[in-house]
Every structure is written in structure tokens, then in C-alpha cells.
Amino acid sequence: MIRALIFDFDGLIFDSETTDFISWQETFAAHGVELAREVWALHIGTITFSPYLHLEELLGRPIDRDAVHDVRKARDNELIAAQTIMPGVEDYLAQARALGLKLAVASSSNHKWVDGHLQRLGLFDQFEYIFCNDDVGGVGKPDPAVYRAAISALNIAPHEGLALEDSSNGVTAAKGAGLWCTAVPNQMTRDLNFDHADYRLSALTEMPLSQLIAEVTHGAI
């Protein structure tokens, strides 16, 4: 029986991943090199990839990272300001409450980022727990640490939780913690391999939560 629903944040609740890529892609182009979408997508959901280092490797020289940061971040903020809640998220939250499920967030980002945007979007109070990389010593996905922290706080067995993830690294983390996991890829992650997910949706609007739970678990207890 599923007792809790655990959401990833970036790319699942709020599409900061596309804006992040666009701002970095424009930054690379301004330096005369290309940031390949395939390279970026492989690292979505982690905190180990350094665009600064990758840019320097392509250029064959060091860059003024502070100057690059300021320009790139200003552009990213401009793009993010236009982003809203991803389709289906609010409906799933309402359906989860109707089903009596506990709700949590498990993110590779830090609390300043996640909490701030959840508050801006009016979703902060929807979740009983919000776990980020700074809750688990700065470790990000695909390490399952953030999911294990959520499982412990929710006081559930791993098989009683369903995670929603948009990235392959996120699915690896959720499955590593013993959770059921549904992949919900976005435009940045749709071409990644999600064979290790228990189920895949094109969007949360594809089916009601109760139907998804039945499809994922096949009635398992």
C-alpha cells in the first residue's frame, strides 16, 4: 500500500532545468563554443557537473568565472521569472491529500533554492517534509541519501512510498532507496534511458494519481 508521495523539485514541480540549460547554452555560444544538449541532459539531477570547467575545457583556457556567473545568472533569473508550476502538479497534490497520502519533496538542490521557489509558487505548505542536499551533507542524486532521509521522516517502509522523477539520475536515487518510482520526463530529459523506472508518464496530466498507483504497484502490498 502506498502511504506517501515524494516529489522531485527541479524539472518536476518547476522547470528550472530548461531555463538553466538555455542560459548556459547562450553563455557557451557567446564564447564561440557549443554546449551539447546530450552532455547537459546526462548530468540533470546531480550536483557534480561544472559548466565552468566544461567551458574551460572546450576553450582550452581559464575564464573569468565571476564575470560569467553574473551575466549567466541574470539571464537565468529572467527566464525563471516566467516559469510556473508544471502541469498536473497541483492536481496530484490535491489527489494525494484526498487519498490520505503523506507528501514530501526530495531534491538535489539546496533549501535556499527549493524553499524559496516553493514559497513563491504557493506550494511550500503543501508538503510535510522538504529534504535537500544540505540535509544530507551536500550529497546529490543519484545517491539515494535524500530519499532515505525522506523515508525516515515520513515513517514509512520504502515500498510504501512512490517517487516522481524527471531525470534518470533521480530514478536511480529513488530506486536505490527502495521506493517505487515513476519517471515524468520533461523536454530536457525525455530522450534519457528510464528503463529502471517502474512506470513512465509523458506528464502528470496523463492519468489520475489513483490509477498511476495501481499501474505502478500492480496491487502490491
Residues designated as active site: 8, 10
Residue keyed to cell 494519481: 209
Helix (H, G, I), strand (E, B) or coil at 125: helix
Greatest Cα-to-Cα distance within the chain, rounded to the nearest angstrom: 56
Q: How much is the CA Rg of the chain, to the nearest whole Å?
A: 18
Terminal C-alpha separation, the chain? 5
Contact criterion met (CB below 8 Å) for 180 and 161: yes
Residue keyed to cell 504557493: 122
As a residue count, the chain comes to 221
Q: Nine-digit cell at 68?
A: 560569467
